[in-house]
């Protein structure tokens, strides 16, 4: 709770600072003020551990600027993820472990610097393409090709998103500095709208944490005196607590962006989380008149759709959307083997989250559940209608949250011994259930396929027989 209080105070300070920060119209002043406050936040949280971030910035900036732009993204990716592993392992070497919030700063910095290297590589690739009837490069791409050490420093340590995200591209950061959208958008209104629901999530987090604390799942009483059903069902409140905590933190981090005006674009730009505007000519829009603005670029979570959507696969799309954009753009789409793209992307996500085994149990378990869900949707839900469809959707929704909760307990317990002890206490119920469901689903699918073939063969034989009879007549 101490870490959570520090986290809330820092985020509250960053939100409040946005009202002051947004008043600066001079780009150079805005850069200096934003970076100065960001460095203060990093220093207050990390102390001398801040040297890790400064070192990562220095090496990555040199790689981005001086290594061939054909491979600078790969070099930066290897260095930053390698250093992230080292950063989390220094306690094993006998040194003081960095604070938890410092780890979050390092995580976001990894995404930003590697993402910038990929942006530079993409701009370079575009520059090699021959122009036809119009310029190949946008202003943002030209800026990426001219990026220098100071630009990278400001982007790395600007206070917006420096603590917990959301991930914003260099293009989005630069737009917030140079374009007038932040001064036109209703930043206070957008922030208040998000802040309205945060007390509800925080209150639910505190209430359920008090009734069903996660620590109880590691106690002797939990395993010796509680029934199998109680232990199995305990994953539901623990994952509910986790969701409320994440919702609170992510929405507060979004408020830092909205209050600062970062990620504000005209609604007609059709912005997407992480990516920004879908239209390339947004920088030339006339903003002198009345215009609706959107902060979709920095929208990191869709709580309502996460809770109410029917399937596991769909819920994943609404969770940590800016980070998912990063994973999709720079891992999934770039990985050469289509067969292993999903597994590699989830593995990178697990590595990014931390070195604990629980992250791998949880995140890498998703690809094994998704085929089961897809199979049963195809078998039973896809063609269902009316009340039957509703009942099946509700069962799918229950299955979705059980899967999240059952895998999520590993994310929270972290270490192999605790995870295995818990799963063995419930006789690996989730894994056994999913194996049985998959086998039964495959058998049903094969039976239906065989039945369809017999029906088609029977129809063909009947048609042939009829044709022969007609000919004989």
Q: Which of 103, 121, 300, 320 is catalytic?
A: 320
Model confidence at 136, pLDDT cuts 50, 70, 90, reads low
pLDDT of 90: 85
Active-site choice (52, 353, 393, 451)? 353
Q: Quick one: which of 235, 234, 245, 233 has its CA closest to 207?
A: 245
pLDDT digits (tens, 9 = 90+) for 362-401: 888 888 899 999 999 999 998 888 899 999 999 999 999 9
303-307: long-range pairs with CB below 8 Å, 24+: 303/197, 303/201, 303/247, 303/251, 306/243
212-259 pLDDT per residue, tens: 998 898 899 999 999 999 999 999 999 999 999 999 999 999 999 999
Q: What is the pTM of this model?
A: 0.89
Domain ranges of the chain: 1-178, 319-458
Write down the pLDDT at residue 130: 56
**Residue 406 clears pLDDT 90, i.e. is over it:** yes
Tell me the pLDDT tens digit for each residue of 144-188.
999 999 999 999 999 998 988 899 999 999 999 999 888 888 999
The confidence band for 464, taking pLDDT boundaries of 50, 70 and 90, is: low
Assign 97 to helix, strand or coil.
Answer: coil
Give yes or no: 320 in active site.
yes
The CA distances from residue 281 to 239, 284, 322, in Å, are: 43, 6, 22
Burial readout 321-351 (b: 16 or more C-beta within 10 A, e: otherwise)? bbbbbbbbbbbbebbeeeeebeebbbbbbbb
CA distance 145 to 257: 26
> Above 80 in pLDDT, residue 355?
no
Q: How far apart are CA 105 and CA 293, in angstroms?
A: 29
pLDDT number for residue 458: 72
Average pLDDT over residues 403-426: 91
Mean pLDDT of 430-440: 94
Q: Say how many C-beta atoms besides its own lie within 10 A of residue 186's C-beta.
A: 14
- pLDDT at 311 (0 to 100): 93
Mean pLDDT of 67-82: 95
CA–CA dist 432, 465 (Å, integer): 49
């Amino acid at each position: 709770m101490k870490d959570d209080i520090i986290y809330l105070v820092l985020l509250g300070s960053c939100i409040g600072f946005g009202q002051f920060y947004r008043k600066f119209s001079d780009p150079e002043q805005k850069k200096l003020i934003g970076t100065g406050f960001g460095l203060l936040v990093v220093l207050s949280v990390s102390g001398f551990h801040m040297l890790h971030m400064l070192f990562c910035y220095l090496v990555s900036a040199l790689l981005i600027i001086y290594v061939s732009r054909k491979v600078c993204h790969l070099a930066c990716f290897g260095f930053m993820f390698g250093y992230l592993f080292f950063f989390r392992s220094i306690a094993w070497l006998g040194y003081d472990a960095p604070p938890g919030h410092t780890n979050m700063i390092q995580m976001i910095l990894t995404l930003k610097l590697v993402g910038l290297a990929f942006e530079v590589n993409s701009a370079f690739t575009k520059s090699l393409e021959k122009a036809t009837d119009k310029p190949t490069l946008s202003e943002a791409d030209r800026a990426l090709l001219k990026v220098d050490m100071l630009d990278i420093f400001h982007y790395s340590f600007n206070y917006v998103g420096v603590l917990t995200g959301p991930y914003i591209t260099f293009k989005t950061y630069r737009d917030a500095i140079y374009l007038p959208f932040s001064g036109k958008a209703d930043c206070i209104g957008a922030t208040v709208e998000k802040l309205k629901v945060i007390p509800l999530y925080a209150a639910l987090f505190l209430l359920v944490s008090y009734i069903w604390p996660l620590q109880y799942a590691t106690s002797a009483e939990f395993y010796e005196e509680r029934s199998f059903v109680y232990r199995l069902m305990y994953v539901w409140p623990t994952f509910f607590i986790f969701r409320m905590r994440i919702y609170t933190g992510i929405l507060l981090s979004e408020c830092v962006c909205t209050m600062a005006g970062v990620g504000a674009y005209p609604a007609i730009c059709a912005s997407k989380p992480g990516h920004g505007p879908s239209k390339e000519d947004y920088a030339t829009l006339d903003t002198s008149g009345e215009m609706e603005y959107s902060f979709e670029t920095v929208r990191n979570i869709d709580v309502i759709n996460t809770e109410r959507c029917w399937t596991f696969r769909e819920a994943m799309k609404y969770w940590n959307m800016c980070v998912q954009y990063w994973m999709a753009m720079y891992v999934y789409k770039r990985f050469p083997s289509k067969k292993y793209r999903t597994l590699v992307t989830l593995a990178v996500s697990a590595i990014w989250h931390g070195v604990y085994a629980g992250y791998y149990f949880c995140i890498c378990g998703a690809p094994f559940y998704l085929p089961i869900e897809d199979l049963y949707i195809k078998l039973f839900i896809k063609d269902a209608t009316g009340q039957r469809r509703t009942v099946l959707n509700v069962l799918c929704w229950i299955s979705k949250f059980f899967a999240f909760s059952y895998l999520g307990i590993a994310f929270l317990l972290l270490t192999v011994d605790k995870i295995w002890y818990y799963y063995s206490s419930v006789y690996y119920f989730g894994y056994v259930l999913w194996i049985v469901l998959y086998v039964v689903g495959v058998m049903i699918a094969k039976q239906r396929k065989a039945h369809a073939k017999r029906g088609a063969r029977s129809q063909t034989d009947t048609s042939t027989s009829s044709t022969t009879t007609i000919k004989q007549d």
